[in-house]
A and B are shown apart, each in its own frame.
Chain A
Amino acid sequence: MPFLVRSSSNDRASWEESSDRDLMKALRRDDEGALDELIGRKSAGLMGVATRMLGDPEEARDIVQITFVRVWEHRLEFRDRWSPNTWIYRIATNLTIDHLRARQRRDRAMVVAGSTLRAVDSERKSLAELQQREVGEVLLKIVDCLSDRQRAVFVLRVVEGFDTKEVAKILGCRVSTVRNHLFVARRKLKRELEVCFPEYAPGSAAGSTREGGSDG
């Protein structure tokens, strides 16, 4: 096993060939280099989930950091039969949901949504024409209409592209519950989109006048 001889974070490049499971085994032997490698692999995805759920990149960054601290502190509790990815995302999602519940930011977000609505409206684009950054901003403005669990399901399944089964494992619920949350989340988001961004609703003037050919 290559990780048996590695204990320094200086040779992190050699960790790149290791699987997540190997990294978890190394973590259990208190290898800090393995933790750094895990941070490198998972941070972007975790940041995406936390940011979409929280709507605040700075808070999301805190969540990611605490997630890895928890991973380290609970490394001995990890079982081989578990998926490291699911385990880490589960920690992050639970932390994010706890954080969401601990704050009440809906009112603040609605104020921001109003200002963004005017800015986007002036550009007269259809939803399909928006840049990814703009789409991300739209999502941040309307995601508050979802409950914590619906938000987690939608972000993990739709935005991050996890399988329904994976989402169920991350959230510790049944697949049918995930599907149900997803169905409700889509419906709520559509309604919220119509209210906050009417120009992006299907059949709107912006959308219907922008039918065109492929750009790719």
Chain B
Amino acid sequence: MGSCQYLAEHGVQQLLADRLSDPGRERRQELVEHLRTCLACRQAAVEEDPTLVFSLIEPDPMGAERLADIQSSVRTLRRSRAIDSSDRPRSRVGGTAALVAASLLFVIALLPLTGGRRLEEQSEPVGDLVTEQHSLAEPEWQRWIDDRTAPPMIEDLNRPDARVYQLTEEDLAVVMIVDETLDL
């Protein structure tokens, strides 16, 4: 190992001292600078711990052109992000409005299918109007009764065992037909 006594005096353990104590930035820098220039000490240190060689890597110098390039890129990125963020609330409002409009259109489109009936039920009149509405429905009921349950014409009853009873009063007419073959 050469004649350099630096490591013997200071000890490579100073650089390995992360395990025990911190030599401090300036002290450490001094050791690193020596190792960068002294091959004998460098070899001794690397023999002790090969990873120490990575302490000797110097940062790559940043040229003015490269630096200007980074500054320019950062400026562009900053501005584009600022534009994006200023656009975002507007697009958010627009998106919300579109969503509300679409929802309304959807509901309106469904009204004839389901919502209409529900609305009709909800708007059904109460009180006196109910009576009026029932009276309006009466012809339907009457027609249904007429079609399905109206007694057959008495003239059609040709069966000898069929019996017809009639009770006629001033405001009421009752007809009773007894015919077991009659299909009502």
Return the chain A residue nearest B46 by Cβ: A128
In the complex, the answer to whether B43 meets A135 with C-beta atoms within 8 Å is: no
Note all chain A residues with C-beta closer than 8 A to B67.
39-40, 43
Note all chain B residues with C-beta closer than 8 A to A154.
51, 54
Residue among B52, B57, B77 with the most chain A CB within 10 A? Answer: B57
Interface flags, B11-36, vs A, CB<8A=1, else 0: 00000001100101100110010001
Contact A190 to B18, CB < 8 A, known contacts A69-B78, A214-B3: no
- Contact among A135, A182, A212, A213 with B57 in the assembled complex (CB-CB below 8 Å): A135
How long is the Cα–Cα vector from A157 to B2 in the complex, in angstroms? 29
How long is the Cα–Cα vector from A157 to B43 in the complex, in angstroms? 21
- Minimal beta-carbon separation of B70 from chain A (angstroms): 6
Note all chain B residues with C-beta closer than 8 A to A216.
36-39
- Minimal beta-carbon separation of A212 from chain B (angstroms): 6
Binds A, one of B58-66, B152-160, B171-179: B58-66
Near B by CB (< 8 A), chain A positions 19-51 give 32, 35-36, 39-40, 43-45, 47-48, 51
- Mostly, the B contact residues are helix
- Contact among A64, A162, A179, A200 with B50 in the assembled complex (CB-CB below 8 Å): A200
- Minimal beta-carbon separation of A57 from chain B (angstroms): 9
Contact A179 to B19, CB < 8 A, known contacts A161-B28, A213-B3, A216-B38: yes
**Sample of 25 A–B contacts (CB below 8 Å):** A43-B62, A44-B61, A47-B60, A65-B70, A69-B74, A72-B74, A128-B46, A130-B53, A132-B56, A135-B53, A154-B51, A154-B54, A157-B18, A158-B51, A162-B25, A179-B19, A182-B19, A186-B51, A212-B2, A213-B39, A214-B38, A214-B39, A215-B37, A216-B36, A216-B38
Return the chain A residue nearest B61 by Cβ: A44
How long is the Cα–Cα vector from A55 to B103 in the complex, in angstroms? 51
- Contact among B25, B41, B42, B81 with A161 in the assembled complex (CB-CB below 8 Å): B25
- Minimal beta-carbon separation of B62 from chain A (angstroms): 4
- Minimal beta-carbon separation of B5 from chain A (angstroms): 11
In the complex, the answer to whether A212 meets B39 with C-beta atoms within 8 Å is: yes
Contact A65 to B77, CB < 8 A, known contacts A158-B55, A215-B38, A216-B37: yes
* Number of A-B pairs, beta carbon distance below 8 Å: 142
In the complex, the answer to whether A212 meets B19 with C-beta atoms within 8 Å is: no
Please report the total number of A residues contacting B with Cβ < 8 Å: 59
How long is the Cα–Cα vector from A73 to B77 in the complex, in angstroms? 11
How long is the Cα–Cα vector from A212 to B56 in the complex, in angstroms? 19
Note all chain B residues with C-beta closer than 8 A to A160.
59
- Minimal beta-carbon separation of B96 from chain A (angstroms): 25
Q: A39-B71, A65-B70 are in contact. List 6 more A-B contacts (CB 8 A).
A: A39-B70, A126-B43, A128-B45, A154-B54, A163-B25, A182-B18
Note all chain B residues with C-beta closer than 8 A to A43.
62, 67, 70
- Minimal beta-carbon separation of A116 from chain B (angstroms): 16
Q: Is A211 an interface residue (CB 8 A)?
A: yes
Q: Is B75 an interface residue (CB 8 A)?
A: yes
In the complex, the answer to whether B59 meets A45 with C-beta atoms within 8 Å is: yes
